[in-house]
Amino acid sequence: MSKPDVLTKLSNKLQSTPTSEEDLIYILSRARKILELEDHPDEFAVLNFYCNLALHTKIDQRIPKEIAEGIIRSHTDYKGEHPHPFLGYPHFHKQFGRFLTDHQLPNFYKFKDFNIVKFIDLLNSIYSDTPVVVNLITQYKAVVNKDGSISGSILEK
């Protein structure tokens, strides 16, 4: 399938705000295909990570540095000064919005019926219970729970 074909299919799906897991998983899978066809540009590393997270049962490699460091920082920050990078998905929203603009795709973030809370609930539902194993100095596993909370544990030091 060529990039124009994937872009056309994605554009058609983006004509309305995603309201189900199925809608959003389809959108993320097409975005991932485009990124693959573009040889995974570094500028969309976080978006690629979240696309993979939606499609796989475990992520244990090629985690963008800002996500991995955020997971470790939030785990070791006992004062709660650093939010978990999955909480609200700020890195995702930023890169996905830029991806839509750069590829001249409809941007549902700007639609009147778009509701960020409902969208985050969809993301939580998709990502819940998918372990993300981060290997820096310490191996750490983070899991998004269905209610949007994050649980995690150190696997080994």
Q: Is 150 in contact with 84 (CB distance < 8 Å)? A: yes
State the residue range of the domain holding 13: 3-156
Number of domains in the chain: 1
- On the 0-12 / 13-18 / 19+ scale of CB atoms within 10 A, 49 is buried
The pLDDT, as a whole number, for residue 123 is 92
The pLDDT, as a whole number, for residue 157 is 46
> Tens of pLDDT along 10-69?
999 999 999 999 999 999 999 999 999 999 888 999 999 889 888 887 766 667 777 777
144 φ/ψ angles, rounded to the nearest 5 degrees: -85, 125
> Tens of pLDDT along 120-133?
999 999 888 777 76
